[in-house]
Amino acid sequence: MEERSTDTLEKIQRTALEEFSEKGFLGASLRQIVKRAGVTTGAFYGYFSSKEALFASIVEPHAAALMGRFMEAQTSFSELPEAEQPNHMGMESSQCIHWMVDYICANREAVKLLLCRAEGTSYEHFVHNMVEVEVEYTLRYMDVLRRLGHEFPDLDGSLCHIIASGMFNGIFEIVVHDMPKEQAMRYVDQLRNFYTAGWLKLIGA
């Protein structure tokens, strides 16, 4: 009985993944998902309380993995002694981005739901939230540089947000366009080089 229940759960999620991928969260029909999965509406509600709960069951593990790894990179850098941070700038983020590309390429369908089909859910601002974290830690690092004696023009949070938003949306283009992994790795490395050079120019390094 337990095995059949697991099979039913997986069937519902597999069918929902297809429906959400085709129509997005807002356009997806719960009635159609139930019908295509071959279960009754009553059986469906034995597993999920709503369409959004079903969507979350598919994307939450991936949202948690991506945001968790990203936060780990941010905090590990910020916890370094301030004098050591300039020498480590970019190392943690490079490792994090390579990990993210690996992860995305291994979980393309579900990650695409998270990034491209989540309008109307609590996940629709996932990239924006990641950008906000990047901005927060970027401003912290600028304060560190000033304490270390570096002088550079004022760069406010709005400009940092624009730059970070461009970078993250560029990285996630690998999902939107289903790039092969080797190409995706090459592009994100080139993108990072581009943005790193831009930052160095802005802070006069």
CB hemisphere CA count around 158 (13 angstroms): 0
**How many domains are there within the chain?**
2
What count of residues does the chain have? 205
- Strand runs labelled E in the chain: none
- pLDDT, tens digit, 9 for 90 and up, residues 86-143: 888 878 888 999 999 999 999 999 999 999 999 999 999 999 999 999 999 999 999 9
Asked if residue 136 and residue 117 are part of one domain, the reply reads yes
Q: 39 and 106: one domain?
A: no
Domain that holds residue 195: 58-202
d(CA 32, CA 27) in angstroms, rounded, equals 11
Contact between 115 and 175 (Cβ < 8 Å): yes
Is residue 181 located within the same domain as residue 131?
yes
144-198: pLDDT as tens digits:
999 999 888 888 889 999 999 999 999 898 888 889 999 999 999 999 999 989 9
Give the pLDDT score at 5.
Answer: 78
- For 43-80, write each residue's pLDDT tens digit: 999 999 999 999 999 999 999 999 999 999 999 999 99
Q: Are both 152 and 172 inside the same structural domain?
A: yes
| Element containing residue 192 per DSSP (H, E) | helix 181-202
Query: What span, in angstroms and rounded, lies between the C-alpha atoms of 86 and 17?
Result: 43
150 and 101 belong to one structural domain: yes
Q: Where are the beta strands (DSSP E) in 99-167?
A: none
Q: Let me know whether 72 and 6 are in one domain.
A: no
Q: Are residues 42 and 65 in the same domain?
A: no
Entry pTM: 0.90
92 plus 121 within the same structural domain: yes
CA 182, 103, 198: angle at the middle one, nearest 5?
65
**192 and 137 part of one domain:** yes
